[in-house]
Copies of this chain bind each other. A is one copy, B any other.
Amino acid sequence: MPFTYSIEATRNLATTERCIQDIRNAPVRNRSTQFQLAQQNMLAYTFGEVIPGFASAGINGMNYRDVIGRPVENAVTEGTHFFRDDFRVDSNAKAKVAGDIFEIVSSAVMWNCAARWNSLMVGEGWRSQPRYSRPTLSPSPRRQVAVLNLPRSFDWVSLLVPESQEVIEEFRAGLRKDGLGLPTSTPDLAVVVLPEEFQNDEMWREEIAGLTRPNQILLSGAYQRLQGRVQPGEISLAVAFKRSLRSDRLYQPLYEANVMQLLLEGKLGAPKVEFEVHTLAPEGTNAFVTYEAASLYGLAEGRSAVHRAIRELYVPPTAADLARRFFAFLNERMELVNG
């Protein structure tokens, strides 16, 4: 499972493990797809033994856009090898898979950061390989975090403890009388304070070695363990991943951040909701301006401490930079949690 394409490794794959699935004889109804980019196999192939930022210096410091592009690159190499001129995939296929890979790999980087952070918080000291500067916040098991890559169709409200969900439900019940609602969807990822009942579990301190299928399942299913167990103030960070930007594709995070702020800050008394957007191709400066928008809820209330809805549009240069930045964030934000 090499980061760099290997004809030997490819040859040893069972056909079901290959990155390219030939479905010309088993087409999906109402589609003309001939070859599928098997996203999970691609992740296992390219990142099966590699988590960027926690791998070799060469990968940790490599241009992150190139790192994220590698699975599709490898898959296309494989497809061309087996199918030559017959091989073709729609640009929309690459687009879908590249977007999911950016999200999943970045989540894995942050998962490993959280594991390392948590290990420090329970008093195990600061792991030294690869080297990141040691956070200065005084360790406490209560300051552990969980990194949750949230699935499609998720509703972030389901993370909250029942009492908080009830407050929101009552608020919505009032709206429904007028035919109104305030539906919530989700960021791609949430960082939450690790609930007390998990603070002795080792799994939250274990760095994964790569995105094998079992590890993919571990990370993508982690959110289920925390549903109904998070206090409003414990949603420490929300992240939206967008591999590239277009002016019309900026608004789901911007809107969802506004709703989160209205509900968490306004109705549940939580501190500032930190919501950020990660991208590898901002395509101009317009997005940075769009994301300077003040949080509408705070504005309307005429509060003194108005803030942006989106705290930052971040373009990670390398996986190591992403990790360093996340450690710095935790070092600052987790001070809010009583040690």
Q: Which residues from chain A sit less than 8 Å from chain B, CB to CB?
A: 90-92, 175, 178-183, 185, 247-252, 254-256, 258-259, 262, 266, 289-290, 292-294, 296-297, 299-301, 306-308
- Give the 10 A-B residue pairs with the shortest CB-CB distance, closest first: A300-B300, A251-B251, A181-B292, A180-B294, A251-B252, A251-B255, A255-B255, A297-B300, A296-B296, A300-B301
The answer on a CB contact under 8 Å between A299 and B262 is: yes
Q: Would you give 9 A-B contacts (Cβ < 8 Å), ordered by A? A: A179-B308, A180-B307, A181-B289, A183-B289, A185-B290, A249-B249, A254-B255, A297-B300, A301-B301
**Chain A binding surface, main DSSP class:** helix
Q: Is the CB of A293 within 8 A of B90?
A: no
A41 CB to nearest chain B CB (Å): 25
Q: Is the CB of A292 within 8 A of B180?
A: yes
Residues of B with C-beta under 8 A to A182:
293-294, 299
**A306 touching B248 by the CB < 8 A rule?**
no
Count of identical protomers in the assembly: 2
CB distance from A115 to the nearest CB of B (A): 30
Q: Are B296 and A297 in contact (CB under 8 A)?
A: yes
Central interface residue in A247, A258, A266, A300, by most chain B CB within 10 Å: A300
How far does the Cβ of A326 sit from chain B's closest Cβ, in whole Å?
Answer: 23
Task: Tell me the complex Cα distance, A251–B248, Å.
Answer: 9
CB distance from A25 to the nearest CB of B (A): 23
B294 engages A258 (CB within 8 Å): no
Q: Complex: how many Å from CA A255 to CA B251?
A: 7
Residues of B within 8 A of A180 (CB): 292-294, 306-308
Whether the pair A296, B292 counts as a contact (CB closer than 8 A) is no
A293 to B176, CA, bound (A): 10
State how many angstroms separate the Cβ of A182 from the closest Cβ of chain B.
Answer: 6
Q: Complex: how many Å from CA A252 to CA B247? A: 9
Q: Which residues on B sit within 8 Å (CB–CB) of A248?
A: 249, 252
A179 to B92 CA separation, bound complex (whole angstroms): 37
Could you tell me the distance in whole angstroms from the C-beta of A110 to the nearest C-beta in chain B?
22
- Contacts A181-B289, A251-B254 given; 18 further ones with Cβ under 8 A? A179-B308, A180-B292, A180-B293, A180-B306, A181-B292, A181-B293, A181-B294, A183-B292, A251-B251, A254-B255, A255-B258, A258-B296, A259-B296, A262-B296, A262-B299, A296-B296, A300-B300, A301-B301
B residues less than 8 Å from A179 (CB atoms): 292, 308
**In the assembled complex, which residues on chain B have CB atoms less than 8 Å from the CB atom of A255?**
251, 254-255, 258
A300 touches B307 (CB 8 A): no
- Complex formed: what's the CA distance from A266 to B297 in Å? 12
- Cα distance A290–B92 in the bound complex, in angstroms: 25
CA distance A301 to B266 in the complex (A): 11
Task: For residue A203, give the distance in angstroms from its CB to the closest CB of chain B.
Answer: 31
> Closest CB of chain B to A192's CB: distance in Å?
23
CA distance A254 to B297 in the complex (A): 15
List B contacts of A292 (CB < 8 A). 179-181, 183
Which residue of B181, B249, B258, B306 is within 8 Å of A175 (Cβ)? B306
